Structure 1
Amino acid sequence: MFWNFFTYLFGGSHHEEERIEQEQEEDFREKREQYNILLLGETQSGKSTLVQAIKRYADPMHDIEHELLGSGITSCTSEIRQHIIETDFPEYEVSQTVKSGPMGRATEELIDTTFFDNIGKDVYEEKLNLFRQLRMYRCNRPGRRHYRFNIFDTPGLNDTYGQDESHIYKILQVMSLAQHIDLVIITIREAAFTPQYQNVLQTYFHVFPELKDNVVFVHTKADYVDLHPLAEKSRLNREERDRKIHAIMERERCTHFRIDCDLDTNKLVRVCMTQHVIKEILDLATFNKPVIWRSRTMRKTPRMREIDHAVAEILYKMSEVTEATLRYKDSTGADIYGKRRELAKKFIENQIKQDDVRSYISERDSDHSILLYERNFDQAWKLFDFFRSDNIMSYPAQIATITDLNIRQEHVVKKEEVGGTGYTYYEVKFQREMYKNGIFHVRIFGKSSDVYQEMIDAQNFELERLKYEYQGLVEERNEYESTLCDGQEDILQELDYKRELYETVILHLSADVVCREIFEKLLRMDAYSPLNRNSTKIVQGIYMGHFVGCV
């Protein structure tokens, strides 16, 4: 290990320097690994500020791009911004100049920012607020690997101007461009966890459920003073907020990072702690199993469902007008069309239910891995206690077999291990190394079809019931049509041709999911923007245009 203070060293041959730099660059390209990070969050939750902090972690000489940072309640990011950050995962330390001995000799004393929870709260706060006679060092390890991170900074989902669907479309573009996502960072302000933001998170994962397994929550405006174990009130507030998030994620636990993103602070101990947290966040991207974008259907947002249902009602009335016009052509005046309408409604309802059930089954009845359990011992000194007692992580026996086991550990020794891949349970006993800040992070995966097998069986049973019901409707329609005379049958054929298009479109408008092609067309046209007065017309035109020729 060697230490470099933030100093440029000049001297030597200019050509020799260029040759060395070129060799280093070629070596960098050979070793570099690439990861994609999707950055999501509420407007003004600190997404762009976090990007600047990450850039400063990778390069401490980085000049903060203040023009990219927002203010007030307006999002500073209206379009997707891709930031390419290359790093070799440096570590940072802070030292303080102290005078000791009868001669008052000045010496450098290292301030260990990883063990702060092991000192009293007053001393902890005093160290956090030091700003005089401090120096920060960058530590590089020999043989280090180089990484490239593509960070996609997105507009706030709850943008002040209500462009939720437009922002979702931009996120979809990122997913298509990146092909895979290694980490999803959701930024949250250290403020009241409002119902509005809870709805925002639910919208994210309703539209993009595949991303849930790789999500971490970064609380961007934390005060490190509040993270001390003796700050009881702050701890209780954090736990309450986290429980709400876990309920939305439908998870027992999620990974949280709390960070102070003050880019202008001169308190180097706080800066060093921020650098340490950023390293942990980026390290997690290299640890995760990447999410591959395969989805052919998209789930609708609440506003999309609202407008689509309104358009479905319009088309339903248009279909009734068509029927009334054709009924007028029938000289017999028989009430055969009422029966026709009743059957049509039943067919539409049955097909909608079948589509919903098939969508549910197709999402879950597959071999792709899903996260079964996650446990992250990241407050290491406190959790492993001063005496380094053995710690046990236990995942009890479940129905699903474990297909993959990801473990990230630093300065931790595994002593006993049972179960794991190929079993339905896993238990491990481990211990922190002496005078080290240990990390033990476990992610357990299983096959989707195993996890949801009971629900898949129930949905398959429901699908068979709906098919049987559909066949009964077909027989009822055939029996009904056998009673028609020639004139009525000709009119009904004309009615069927026009009605089938309406019924097909109404079916898809009423569903909770839509094919990706239509989804992209709708969002590209800003069909759901609150500022668009022609929303219903655009939605109707895109759906009708898509299905003309398909019926």
Structure 2
Amino acid sequence: MNYTELPPRYEGLPPDLAGPSIQDGPINVLIVGETQQGKSTLVKHIHTYAGLPDPDIKIGSGNVSCTRFSQYYELDINLRSYHLEDTSGNKIEISKDNYRKLCTYDNEDAKVALTAPESGIPYRTVRFNILDTPGLDDSDGKDMDIMAGILAKAGELSHIHAIVYVRNSSTNFGESFKSFFGYLQRSMPSLARGLVIVHSAFTPMRVNSHIRQGKDWSEIRREGFKAATNFELAHFFMDNEPDTNSPLSIVLSLNETCALLSHIKEQPVQPASSFKLLKTPRMQQVDGFVINAVAEVRRAIKNKLEESSKSLTSNELKALEDQSEIARLTRKIQLINDDIKGYEYGPDIALGSVSVTEEFSFLGNFILKQEFNLQGKTMNFNADEPIGYVQKSATGGSKWAQETIQGNRWSGFITAGLFRSIRGSATFYVKSEAKYRAQIRSLKEEKNETEEKFKRLDALKTSVSSVQKGIQQLNLLLGQSDELTVAVKRDIMDMKLYPDLRQLYSTTEPRLSRGEIAAFIQVYNPEIAEFYERYI
């Protein structure tokens, strides 16, 4: 939708309705999905909703992504709702009863008007930082490289609130989505089940076609998604490129944007440092050079150990063995403490989401049933484990009236005002410490056993000579070289390491130079890097 084509009444908020910002930092959002599914048009439409000119975004065609590089867009947005008015200024309710007629309306028949905020409280400004990303599953077949680039770009942020996956409403959820979701579960486990699904190209004409057949297209899409993936997530249905001559198309699209952004705004912060990066084949090839170099380091250390140990007596060797074991146990306790801390203070983990939309029908509810408002809607959710807390959003006059949490089961009741539709969402979270309680208990037991061994050996230790100390240091390096080999061999890495390794992983040379290998090892273990430069 081109901003310049919109009537002036859609451009922004009256001064008395524009309130102050409600948060210090931006709400960081990733927009992801496959090629030609509507990611970039969604970003353009959010600009329109924000009252800003269209960004310079190219829209791809065919099976090739036009967004080649991830791009940030920082927007200050008033989260507000709209409604339709007839030529006399009377509000037009949208329902299944008049949907077909409203599909025929143009700008001469109705206009889009700003809905006054609830209770007279001014709309507030929220700052969003939106990251548009290259399309997946394109003709180049480089999804792993694309995802690595997306995560690398996301890693530049301190945190992320949500990931939005855009899927064209005419495209089913199949193996390609499962592949993407599997990647997401490994790289962003705390965010995966909080994934937000946007069904793009959800046009009024196609909705009306389903209504005439007695079908609910949004429910068909929800059920199709659940059947294909067995996941229950938050869904939003949007015509992200609405017909500017159709007031119905515009108002539905603007209000769905409001619902989407309101949902995202309520999600907790997820630190980018907790993300993992799945390595591409090229990255694993670079790892191979480093692993070979560490193997050379290991051989050199063992040779030095054998040479240095020849002059020691049996008692000195025993004392050295005890000292080396004490050092190993000290290192093990340190690593266990790091693991416990990671579990106890890790990011909150999303368990899933539900969303609800129920339209008020003037004919069905008011005329036939004499109802001034909907009776409310009860929503239920069953999680895999006990629910810690719930983040809820409601727009267009809806309110969450009550909720109950019993272990892994949640029930919530949402209502709406007079002649208003129901629209809301809820996302469920568990604290890292609660989710990994069993792992924490096991680690603490292992730590206690290790500390007991340490105390016994430490009480019996004897002093060692300078020669023994040198051998002891070599033994420590040998153990660290084994840890380094295990770490580099993994097909997944901590996102916090990537900025220092990005250039080395991006090399186009067939092999790494000696200096590059040393720089790579330096990121993981400076002492081994120093040994490599001196002796290899």
Which SS does the other structure have where 1:39 is aligned?
strand
Indicate how the Cα distance of structure 1 residues 519 and 255 shifts in structure 2: closer, same or farther if over 3 A, else same. Answer: same
TM-superposition CA deviations, 1:148-196 (whole Å, max 9, x none): 33232232274755343232111111x22xxx54443222233243434
Taking structure 2 as the reference length, what is the TM-score of the superposition?
0.69
**Aligned pair partner of 1:270 in 249, 256, 265:** 249
Q: Determine whether 1:166 maps to 2:144.
A: no
**Aligned pair partner of 1:112 in 93, 115, 129:** 93
Indicate how the Cα distance of structure 1 residues 393 and 187 shifts in structure 2: closer, same or farther if over 3 A, else same. Answer: closer
Distance 2:347 2:469 in 1: 51
Q: Which residue in 1 is equivalent to 2:188?
A: 208
Q: Determine whether 1:437 maps to 2:421.
A: yes
Query: Are 1:46 and 1:220, in contact at CA under 8 Å, matched by a contact in 2?
Result: yes
Amino acid at match of 2:276: R
Indicate how the Cα distance of structure 1 residues 359 and 214 shifts in structure 2: closer, same or farther if over 3 A, else same. Answer: farther
Distance 1:494 1:414 in 2: 62
Indicate how the Cα distance of structure 1 residues 518 and 436 shifts in structure 2: closer, same or farther if over 3 A, else same. Answer: closer
**Aligned pair partner of 1:217 in 197, 208, 216:** 197
Distance 2:400 2:70 in 1: 46
The size of the alignment, in residue pairs, is 487
Distance 2:30 2:347 in 1: 24
**Aligned pair partner of 1:51 in 43, 55, 58:** 43
TM-superposition CA deviations, 1:464-499 (whole Å, max 9, x none): 67x489979x99xx9xxx9xxx9x979966854763
Deviation at 1:52, TM superposition (A): 1.3
Q: Which residue in 2 is equivalent to 1:138?
A: 113
Which SS does the other structure have where 1:55 is aligned?
helix
Q: Determine whether 1:392 maps to 2:375.
A: no
Q: Which residue in 2 is equivalent to 1:151?
A: 129
Q: Which residue in 1 is equivalent to 2:30?
A: 39
Indicate how the Cα distance of structure 1 residues 232 and 245 shifts in structure 2: closer, same or farther if over 3 A, else same. Answer: same
Distance 2:113 2:441 in 1: 56
TM-superposition CA deviations, 1:373-405 (whole Å, max 9, x none): 6443223549xx955456434568998585567
Identity of aligned residues (%): 13
Indicate how the Cα distance of structure 1 residues 266 and 40 shifts in structure 2: closer, same or farther if over 3 A, else same. Answer: same
Q: Which residue in 2 is equivalent to 1:14?
A: none
Deviation at 1:542, TM superposition (A): 1.6
Which SS does the other structure have where 1:256 is aligned?
strand
Indicate how the Cα distance of structure 1 residues 54 and 210 shifts in structure 2: closer, same or farther if over 3 A, else same. Answer: same
Amino acid at match of 1:170: K
Q: Determine whether 1:69 maps to 2:59.
A: yes
Q: Which residue in 2 is equivalent to 1:299?
A: 276
Query: Are 1:369 and 1:445, in contact at CA under 8 Å, matched by a contact in 2?
Result: yes
Indicate how the Cα distance of structure 1 residues 353 and 275 shifts in structure 2: closer, same or farther if over 3 A, else same. Answer: farther
Paired residues for 1:502-517 under 5 Å: 502-510=481-489, 514=493, 517=496
Distance 2:412 2:228 in 1: 29
Deviation at 1:296, TM superposition (A): 5.0
Indicate how the Cα distance of structure 1 residues 437 and 391 shifts in structure 2: closer, same or farther if over 3 A, else same. Answer: closer
Q: Determine whether 1:280 maps to 2:259.
A: yes
Which SS does the other structure have where 1:156 is aligned?
coil
Query: Are 2:168 and 2:200, in contact at CA under 8 Å, matched by a contact in 1?
Result: yes
Give the gaps of 5 or more residues in structure 1.
1-5, 10-20, 98-106, 248-252, 337-345
Indicate how the Cα distance of structure 1 residues 40 and 58 shifts in structure 2: closer, same or farther if over 3 A, else same. Answer: closer
TM-superposition CA deviations, 1:217-240 (whole Å, max 9, x none): 212233442584633788545423
Distance 2:497 2:290 in 1: 16
Indicate how the Cα distance of structure 1 residues 471 and 312 shifts in structure 2: closer, same or farther if over 3 A, else same. Answer: farther
Which SS does the other structure have where 2:201 is aligned?
coil
Indicate how the Cα distance of structure 1 residues 320 and 501 shifts in structure 2: closer, same or farther if over 3 A, else same. Answer: closer
Paired residues for 1:30-429 under 5 Å: 31-34=20-23, 35-44=26-35, 45-59=37-51, 63-65=53-55, 67-72=57-62, 73-76=64-67, 78-87=69-78, 89-93=80-84, 95=86, 112-113=93-94, 115-116=95-96, 124=100, 127-128=102-103, 130-131=105-106, 133-141=108-116, 143=120, 144-156=122-134, 158=136, 160=140, 162-173=145-156, 175-176=157-158, 180-190=159-169, 191-212=171-192, 215-224=195-204, 225-226=206-207, 228=210, 230-231=214-215, 235-236=219-220, 238-245=222-229, 247=231, 253-262=232-241, 266-286=245-265, 288-291=266-269, 293=271, 296=273, 298-303=275-280, 306-307=284-285, 310-311=288-289, 313-315=291-293, 317-319=295-297, 321-322=299-300, 326=304, 361-366=340-345, 370-371=349-350, 374-381=353-360, 386=365, 388-389=374-375, 391-393=377-379, 400=386, 406=392, 408=394, 411=397, 417=402, 419=404, 427=411
Taking structure 1 as the reference length, what is the TM-score of the superposition?
0.67
Distance 1:281 1:311 in 2: 46
Query: Are 1:402 and 1:425, in contact at CA under 8 Å, matched by a contact in 2?
Result: no
Which SS does the other structure have where 2:420 is aligned?
coil
Distance 1:157 1:208 in 2: 19
Indicate how the Cα distance of structure 1 residues 401 and 80 shifts in structure 2: closer, same or farther if over 3 A, else same. Answer: closer
Indicate how the Cα distance of structure 1 residues 208 and 371 shifts in structure 2: closer, same or farther if over 3 A, else same. Answer: closer
Distance 2:163 2:228 in 1: 19
Indicate how the Cα distance of structure 1 residues 223 and 448 shifts in structure 2: closer, same or farther if over 3 A, else same. Answer: same
Which SS does the other structure have where 1:318 is aligned?
helix
Which SS does the other structure have where 2:67 is aligned?
coil
Q: Which residue in 2 is equivalent to 1:542?
A: 520
Question: What value does the CA root-mean-square deviation take over the aligned residues?
Answer: 5.4
Indicate how the Cα distance of structure 1 residues 314 and 270 shifts in structure 2: closer, same or farther if over 3 A, else same. Answer: same
TM-superposition CA deviations, 1:52-76 (whole Å, max 9, x none): 11222233xx554465434441332
Indicate how the Cα distance of structure 1 residues 149 and 212 shifts in structure 2: closer, same or farther if over 3 A, else same. Answer: farther
Which SS does the other structure have where 1:222 is aligned?
coil
Give the gaps of 5 or more residues in structure 2.
1-5, 315-324, 531-536
Indicate how the Cα distance of structure 1 residues 369 and 330 shifts in structure 2: closer, same or farther if over 3 A, else same. Answer: closer
